[in-house]
Structure 1
Amino acid sequence: MTPKELQQLAEYNYWANHTLYKSCSNLSETDYKAERPSFFGSIHNTLNHILVGDRIWFGRFENKPEKLSLSDVLYEDFASLQTARENEDLRILDYARNITQDTLDSTLSYTTIAGDTYSDPLGILLQHAFNHQTHHRGQIHCLLSQTNVTPPSLGMTFYLRAQD
Protein backbone atom coordinates (compact mmCIF):
# COMPACT_ATOMS: atom_id res chain seq x y z
CA MET A 1 0.00 0.00 0.00
CA THR A 2 1.17 3.51 -0.76
CA PRO A 3 0.26 6.78 0.97
CA LYS A 4 -1.78 7.75 -2.11
CA GLU A 5 -3.73 4.47 -2.00
CA LEU A 6 -4.43 4.98 1.70
CA GLN A 7 -5.65 8.51 1.00
CA GLN A 8 -7.95 7.19 -1.74
CA LEU A 9 -9.41 4.65 0.69
CA ALA A 10 -9.94 7.37 3.29
CA GLU A 11 -11.64 9.63 0.74
CA TYR A 12 -13.89 6.81 -0.46
CA ASN A 13 -14.65 5.92 3.16
CA TYR A 14 -15.66 9.53 3.86
CA TRP A 15 -17.94 9.58 0.82
CA ALA A 16 -19.51 6.18 1.60
CA ASN A 17 -20.24 7.11 5.22
CA HIS A 18 -21.69 10.48 4.20
CA THR A 19 -23.87 8.79 1.57
CA LEU A 20 -25.06 6.12 3.99
CA TYR A 21 -25.86 8.62 6.73
CA LYS A 22 -27.78 10.76 4.24
CA SER A 23 -30.01 7.77 3.49
CA CYS A 24 -30.38 6.89 7.18
CA SER A 25 -31.44 10.47 7.91
CA ASN A 26 -34.63 9.73 5.94
CA LEU A 27 -35.70 7.02 8.38
CA SER A 28 -38.23 7.58 11.09
CA GLU A 29 -36.84 7.23 14.61
CA THR A 30 -38.86 4.01 14.92
CA ASP A 31 -37.36 2.45 11.78
CA TYR A 32 -33.88 3.73 12.61
CA LYS A 33 -33.81 2.08 16.04
CA ALA A 34 -36.06 -0.90 15.26
CA GLU A 35 -34.75 -4.27 16.40
CA ARG A 36 -33.91 -6.29 13.31
CA PRO A 37 -32.23 -9.65 12.80
CA SER A 38 -28.59 -8.56 12.67
CA PHE A 39 -25.44 -8.87 14.70
CA PHE A 40 -25.90 -5.53 16.47
CA GLY A 41 -29.70 -5.56 16.44
CA SER A 42 -30.48 -2.27 14.68
CA ILE A 43 -29.24 0.27 12.17
CA HIS A 44 -28.42 2.63 15.03
CA ASN A 45 -26.36 0.07 16.93
CA THR A 46 -24.51 -1.01 13.77
CA LEU A 47 -23.59 2.59 12.94
CA ASN A 48 -22.33 2.97 16.51
CA HIS A 49 -20.26 -0.20 16.14
CA ILE A 50 -18.54 1.13 13.01
CA LEU A 51 -17.58 4.26 14.93
CA VAL A 52 -16.34 2.18 17.88
CA GLY A 53 -14.20 0.09 15.54
CA ASP A 54 -12.66 3.19 13.99
CA ARG A 55 -11.92 4.74 17.35
CA ILE A 56 -10.26 1.53 18.52
CA TRP A 57 -8.16 1.03 15.38
CA PHE A 58 -7.20 4.64 14.71
CA GLY A 59 -6.47 5.08 18.41
CA ARG A 60 -3.97 2.25 18.03
CA PHE A 61 -2.56 3.73 14.82
CA GLU A 62 -2.06 7.11 16.52
CA ASN A 63 -0.73 5.55 19.75
CA LYS A 64 -3.78 6.86 21.64
CA PRO A 65 -5.55 3.61 22.55
CA GLU A 66 -9.27 3.75 23.35
CA LYS A 67 -10.86 1.61 26.06
CA LEU A 68 -14.08 0.56 24.35
CA SER A 69 -16.19 -2.54 23.93
CA LEU A 70 -17.27 -3.59 20.44
CA SER A 71 -20.94 -3.34 21.38
CA ASP A 72 -20.71 0.10 23.03
CA VAL A 73 -23.38 2.59 21.98
CA LEU A 74 -21.49 5.87 22.06
CA TYR A 75 -24.39 8.07 21.01
CA GLU A 76 -28.07 7.50 21.68
CA ASP A 77 -29.40 9.80 18.96
CA PHE A 78 -28.80 9.98 15.23
CA ALA A 79 -27.75 13.65 15.10
CA SER A 80 -24.98 13.23 17.69
CA LEU A 81 -23.78 10.02 16.04
CA GLN A 82 -23.74 11.70 12.63
CA THR A 83 -21.63 14.58 13.98
CA ALA A 84 -19.23 12.14 15.62
CA ARG A 85 -19.00 10.12 12.38
CA GLU A 86 -18.16 13.26 10.41
CA ASN A 87 -15.44 14.18 12.92
CA GLU A 88 -14.02 10.65 12.88
CA ASP A 89 -13.92 10.62 9.09
CA LEU A 90 -12.06 13.94 9.10
CA ARG A 91 -9.61 12.42 11.61
CA ILE A 92 -9.10 9.43 9.30
CA LEU A 93 -8.58 11.71 6.28
CA ASP A 94 -6.02 13.75 8.19
CA TYR A 95 -4.20 10.58 9.26
CA ALA A 96 -4.14 9.28 5.67
CA ARG A 97 -3.01 12.59 4.21
CA ASN A 98 -0.04 12.77 6.56
CA ILE A 99 1.28 9.21 6.55
CA THR A 100 4.68 8.33 5.06
CA GLN A 101 5.69 5.21 3.20
CA ASP A 102 8.07 4.30 6.02
CA THR A 103 5.19 4.39 8.50
CA LEU A 104 2.97 2.35 6.18
CA ASP A 105 5.73 -0.24 5.86
CA SER A 106 6.20 -0.49 9.63
CA THR A 107 4.83 -3.01 12.11
CA LEU A 108 2.33 -2.03 14.76
CA SER A 109 2.31 -3.66 18.18
CA TYR A 110 -1.04 -3.38 19.94
CA THR A 111 -3.17 -4.97 22.61
CA THR A 112 -6.64 -6.24 21.77
CA ILE A 113 -9.76 -5.68 23.84
CA ALA A 114 -9.26 -9.23 25.16
CA GLY A 115 -5.78 -8.26 26.40
CA ASP A 116 -3.76 -10.17 23.80
CA THR A 117 -0.74 -8.44 22.27
CA TYR A 118 0.11 -8.71 18.58
CA SER A 119 2.49 -7.14 16.08
CA ASP A 120 1.23 -6.89 12.50
CA PRO A 121 2.09 -4.92 9.36
CA LEU A 122 0.49 -1.48 9.65
CA GLY A 123 -0.56 -1.39 5.98
CA ILE A 124 -2.55 -4.61 6.40
CA LEU A 125 -4.15 -3.33 9.61
CA LEU A 126 -5.22 -0.14 7.84
CA GLN A 127 -6.77 -2.22 5.06
CA HIS A 128 -8.56 -4.20 7.75
CA ALA A 129 -9.96 -1.02 9.34
CA PHE A 130 -11.45 0.09 6.01
CA ASN A 131 -12.67 -3.42 5.22
CA HIS A 132 -14.37 -3.51 8.62
CA GLN A 133 -16.35 -0.40 7.74
CA THR A 134 -17.29 -1.75 4.32
CA HIS A 135 -18.47 -5.01 5.88
CA HIS A 136 -20.79 -3.27 8.33
CA ARG A 137 -21.99 -0.69 5.82
CA GLY A 138 -23.11 -3.71 3.79
CA GLN A 139 -25.08 -4.94 6.79
CA ILE A 140 -26.76 -1.55 7.12
CA HIS A 141 -27.53 -1.64 3.40
CA CYS A 142 -29.40 -4.91 4.01
CA LEU A 143 -31.20 -3.46 7.04
CA LEU A 144 -32.23 -0.40 5.02
CA SER A 145 -33.77 -2.71 2.42
CA GLN A 146 -36.23 -3.73 5.15
CA THR A 147 -37.49 -0.13 5.41
CA ASN A 148 -39.10 2.35 3.03
CA VAL A 149 -35.70 4.03 2.41
CA THR A 150 -33.86 2.81 -0.66
CA PRO A 151 -30.32 1.69 0.25
CA PRO A 152 -27.69 3.81 -1.51
CA SER A 153 -25.19 2.43 -4.00
CA LEU A 154 -21.88 2.48 -2.16
CA GLY A 155 -19.53 0.72 -4.57
CA MET A 156 -16.16 2.23 -5.37
CA THR A 157 -17.27 2.81 -8.96
CA PHE A 158 -20.16 4.96 -7.73
CA TYR A 159 -17.68 6.96 -5.67
CA LEU A 160 -15.43 7.42 -8.72
CA ARG A 161 -18.36 8.62 -10.84
CA ALA A 162 -19.46 11.03 -8.10
CA GLN A 163 -16.02 12.69 -8.31
CA ASP A 164 -16.47 13.73 -11.96
Structure 2
Amino acid sequence: MACIEHIQVSVDRKGVDMSDDAFRLMEYVTFLKHRYFDVLSKLSWEDLVRNRDASFSSIRDVFLHIVNVEDSYINYILAKKGGKYTPYDFNKFNSLDAIRRQMDEVEAKTKRCLSSITAEELAAQFEWTRFDGAAMRGRGEDIITHLALEQIHHIGELICLLWQMNVEPPHIGWLQYLSQTTPAHVKG
Protein backbone atom coordinates (compact mmCIF):
# COMPACT_ATOMS: atom_id res chain seq x y z
CA MET A 1 0.00 0.00 0.00
CA ALA A 2 1.44 3.35 -1.02
CA CYS A 3 1.89 6.03 1.58
CA ILE A 4 1.35 9.59 0.44
CA GLU A 5 3.46 11.83 2.62
CA HIS A 6 2.55 15.18 1.14
CA ILE A 7 0.02 16.40 -1.33
CA GLN A 8 -0.10 19.99 -2.42
CA VAL A 9 -3.12 21.22 -4.30
CA SER A 10 -3.01 24.64 -5.85
CA VAL A 11 -6.20 26.17 -7.15
CA ASP A 12 -6.31 29.37 -9.15
CA ARG A 13 -9.55 31.04 -8.09
CA LYS A 14 -9.54 33.20 -11.25
CA GLY A 15 -11.47 35.93 -9.48
CA VAL A 16 -14.16 33.62 -8.09
CA ASP A 17 -15.60 34.94 -4.85
CA MET A 18 -15.37 32.07 -2.35
CA SER A 19 -17.05 33.99 0.48
CA ASP A 20 -20.46 32.62 -0.56
CA ASP A 21 -19.13 29.14 0.26
CA ALA A 22 -18.16 30.26 3.77
CA PHE A 23 -21.62 31.68 4.35
CA ARG A 24 -23.29 28.52 3.01
CA LEU A 25 -21.18 26.44 5.38
CA MET A 26 -22.35 28.60 8.29
CA GLU A 27 -25.97 28.13 7.21
CA TYR A 28 -25.37 24.37 7.07
CA VAL A 29 -23.86 24.33 10.56
CA THR A 30 -26.78 26.34 11.93
CA PHE A 31 -29.18 23.87 10.29
CA LEU A 32 -27.29 20.95 11.87
CA LYS A 33 -27.07 22.64 15.28
CA HIS A 34 -30.84 22.90 15.42
CA ARG A 35 -31.34 19.29 14.33
CA TYR A 36 -28.93 18.10 17.03
CA PHE A 37 -30.46 20.34 19.68
CA ASP A 38 -33.85 18.79 18.92
CA VAL A 39 -32.43 15.28 19.46
CA LEU A 40 -30.50 16.31 22.58
CA SER A 41 -33.66 17.86 24.04
CA LYS A 42 -35.23 14.39 24.07
CA LEU A 43 -32.44 12.95 26.24
CA SER A 44 -32.54 13.04 30.02
CA TRP A 45 -30.56 15.77 31.74
CA GLU A 46 -28.46 13.04 33.36
CA ASP A 47 -27.51 11.72 29.91
CA LEU A 48 -26.60 15.21 28.74
CA VAL A 49 -24.25 16.00 31.64
CA ARG A 50 -22.75 12.52 32.21
CA ASN A 51 -18.95 12.51 31.81
CA ARG A 52 -18.20 10.73 28.55
CA ASP A 53 -14.47 11.52 28.37
CA ALA A 54 -14.90 13.42 25.11
CA SER A 55 -13.10 16.61 24.04
CA PHE A 56 -15.39 18.30 26.54
CA SER A 57 -16.62 15.99 29.23
CA SER A 58 -20.33 15.78 28.45
CA ILE A 59 -22.71 16.03 25.52
CA ARG A 60 -23.94 19.34 26.96
CA ASP A 61 -20.38 20.67 27.07
CA VAL A 62 -19.56 19.57 23.51
CA PHE A 63 -22.75 21.23 22.25
CA LEU A 64 -22.06 24.42 24.22
CA HIS A 65 -18.53 24.48 22.83
CA ILE A 66 -20.06 24.52 19.33
CA VAL A 67 -22.07 27.60 20.38
CA ASN A 68 -19.11 29.11 22.24
CA VAL A 69 -16.69 29.02 19.31
CA GLU A 70 -19.26 30.75 17.10
CA ASP A 71 -19.67 33.44 19.73
CA SER A 72 -15.92 33.97 20.01
CA TYR A 73 -14.94 33.90 16.32
CA ILE A 74 -17.87 35.84 14.90
CA ASN A 75 -19.01 38.11 17.70
CA TYR A 76 -15.64 39.02 19.15
CA ILE A 77 -12.99 38.59 16.47
CA LEU A 78 -14.96 39.56 13.36
CA ALA A 79 -17.19 42.07 15.15
CA LYS A 80 -13.95 43.59 16.54
CA LYS A 81 -15.10 43.77 20.12
CA GLY A 82 -11.54 43.26 21.24
CA GLY A 83 -10.55 42.47 24.75
CA LYS A 84 -10.10 39.04 26.19
CA TYR A 85 -12.86 36.62 25.36
CA THR A 86 -13.90 34.45 28.29
CA PRO A 87 -14.93 30.89 27.41
CA TYR A 88 -18.25 29.72 28.80
CA ASP A 89 -18.55 28.13 32.20
CA PHE A 90 -20.59 25.17 30.98
CA ASN A 91 -21.87 24.42 34.49
CA LYS A 92 -23.82 27.70 34.47
CA PHE A 93 -26.05 26.20 31.79
CA ASN A 94 -28.21 24.04 34.02
CA SER A 95 -31.21 23.48 31.75
CA LEU A 96 -32.10 22.95 28.12
CA ASP A 97 -33.86 26.32 28.16
CA ALA A 98 -30.62 28.03 29.21
CA ILE A 99 -28.72 26.29 26.41
CA ARG A 100 -31.43 27.19 23.88
CA ARG A 101 -31.45 30.86 24.98
CA GLN A 102 -27.68 31.05 24.59
CA MET A 103 -27.76 29.40 21.17
CA ASP A 104 -30.52 31.77 19.99
CA GLU A 105 -28.72 34.84 21.35
CA VAL A 106 -25.43 33.90 19.69
CA GLU A 107 -27.14 33.11 16.39
CA ALA A 108 -28.94 36.49 16.42
CA LYS A 109 -25.62 38.30 16.99
CA THR A 110 -23.97 36.18 14.29
CA LYS A 111 -26.72 37.01 11.81
CA ARG A 112 -26.31 40.75 12.51
CA CYS A 113 -22.53 40.56 12.12
CA LEU A 114 -22.49 38.45 8.97
CA SER A 115 -25.29 40.40 7.29
CA SER A 116 -23.31 43.61 7.62
CA ILE A 117 -19.78 42.35 6.92
CA THR A 118 -18.19 43.91 3.83
CA ALA A 119 -16.06 42.37 1.10
CA GLU A 120 -13.14 44.37 2.48
CA GLU A 121 -13.65 42.86 5.94
CA LEU A 122 -13.83 39.37 4.47
CA ALA A 123 -10.45 39.97 2.81
CA ALA A 124 -8.93 41.82 5.79
CA GLN A 125 -6.47 40.23 8.21
CA PHE A 126 -7.67 39.90 11.80
CA GLU A 127 -5.38 39.31 14.76
CA TRP A 128 -6.34 37.87 18.12
CA THR A 129 -4.97 35.92 21.03
CA ARG A 130 -6.27 32.43 21.67
CA PHE A 131 -7.35 31.31 25.12
CA ASP A 132 -3.94 29.60 25.51
CA GLY A 133 -2.04 32.81 24.72
CA ALA A 134 -1.07 31.93 21.12
CA ALA A 135 -1.15 34.85 18.70
CA MET A 136 -3.40 34.14 15.73
CA ARG A 137 -4.02 35.83 12.41
CA GLY A 138 -6.44 35.14 9.59
CA ARG A 139 -8.59 36.68 6.87
CA GLY A 140 -12.24 37.25 7.67
CA GLU A 141 -13.39 34.69 5.11
CA ASP A 142 -10.95 32.10 6.45
CA ILE A 143 -12.13 32.73 10.01
CA ILE A 144 -15.73 31.98 8.97
CA THR A 145 -14.65 28.83 7.13
CA HIS A 146 -12.48 27.70 10.06
CA LEU A 147 -15.37 28.23 12.45
CA ALA A 148 -17.76 26.15 10.35
CA LEU A 149 -15.20 23.33 10.10
CA GLU A 150 -14.48 23.49 13.85
CA GLN A 151 -18.18 23.18 14.57
CA ILE A 152 -18.58 20.29 12.12
CA HIS A 153 -15.69 18.45 13.82
CA HIS A 154 -17.56 18.63 17.13
CA ILE A 155 -20.85 17.65 15.50
CA GLY A 156 -18.98 14.51 14.42
CA GLU A 157 -18.13 13.98 18.05
CA LEU A 158 -21.83 14.27 18.94
CA ILE A 159 -22.57 11.64 16.30
CA CYS A 160 -20.22 9.20 18.03
CA LEU A 161 -21.57 9.96 21.49
CA LEU A 162 -25.15 9.44 20.30
CA TRP A 163 -24.19 6.16 18.62
CA GLN A 164 -22.68 4.98 21.91
CA MET A 165 -26.09 5.60 23.48
CA ASN A 166 -27.92 3.80 20.63
CA VAL A 167 -29.51 7.08 19.56
CA GLU A 168 -29.69 7.76 15.83
CA PRO A 169 -27.96 11.06 15.00
CA PRO A 170 -30.03 13.45 12.85
CA HIS A 171 -27.15 14.03 10.48
CA ILE A 172 -27.54 15.25 6.92
CA GLY A 173 -24.38 15.49 4.81
CA TRP A 174 -23.36 18.60 2.88
CA LEU A 175 -24.53 17.36 -0.53
CA GLN A 176 -27.87 16.17 0.82
CA TYR A 177 -28.31 19.54 2.56
CA LEU A 178 -27.57 21.37 -0.70
CA SER A 179 -30.04 19.24 -2.64
CA GLN A 180 -32.74 19.99 -0.05
CA THR A 181 -32.05 23.71 0.30
CA THR A 182 -30.95 24.89 -3.13
CA PRO A 183 -33.80 26.29 -5.22
CA ALA A 184 -34.56 24.29 -8.38
CA HIS A 185 -33.65 27.20 -10.67
CA VAL A 186 -30.12 27.24 -9.19
CA LYS A 187 -29.59 23.47 -9.40
CA GLY A 188 -29.59 23.62 -13.18
| Compared CA separation, residues 161 and 92, structure 1 to 2 (3 A) | same
Match of 1:63 among 74, 80, 97: 80
Q: Which residue does the alignment assign to 1:19?
A: 35
Q: Normalised by the size of structure 2, how large is the TM-score?
A: 0.76
Structure 2 counterpart of 1:61, one-letter code: L
* Aligned-residue offset at 1:81: 0.6
Residue aligning to 1:111 = 129
Structure 2, unmatched stretches of 5+, are 1-16, 183-188
RMSD of Structure 2 on Structure 1 (CA): 2.1
1:6 equivalent to 2:22? Answer yes
Structure 1: which 4+ aligned runs deviate by more than 6 Å? none
SS in 2 for 1:118: strand
Q: Is the 8 A contact 2:59 2:158 kept in 1?
A: yes
| Structure 1 stretches lacking a partner, 5+ long | none
- Partner of residue 102, structure 2: 84
Structure 1 residue aligned with 2:153 = 135
* Residues 94-149 of structure 1: CA deviation (Å, up to 9, x unaligned): 32332222211110021222334333222222211111111111101111112243
* 1:151 partner letter: P
Equivalent residue, structure 1, for 2:144: 126
Q: Which amino acid aligns with 1:48?
A: L
Match of 1:39 among 55, 69, 83: 55
Greater relative contact order (Cα < 8 A, sep 6+): 1
The alignment partner of 2:164 has SS state of: coil
Deviations 1:56-89 (A, max 9, x none): 21211101145313x7315222221122112222
- Residues matched between the structures, number: 163
Letter in 2 for 1:43: I
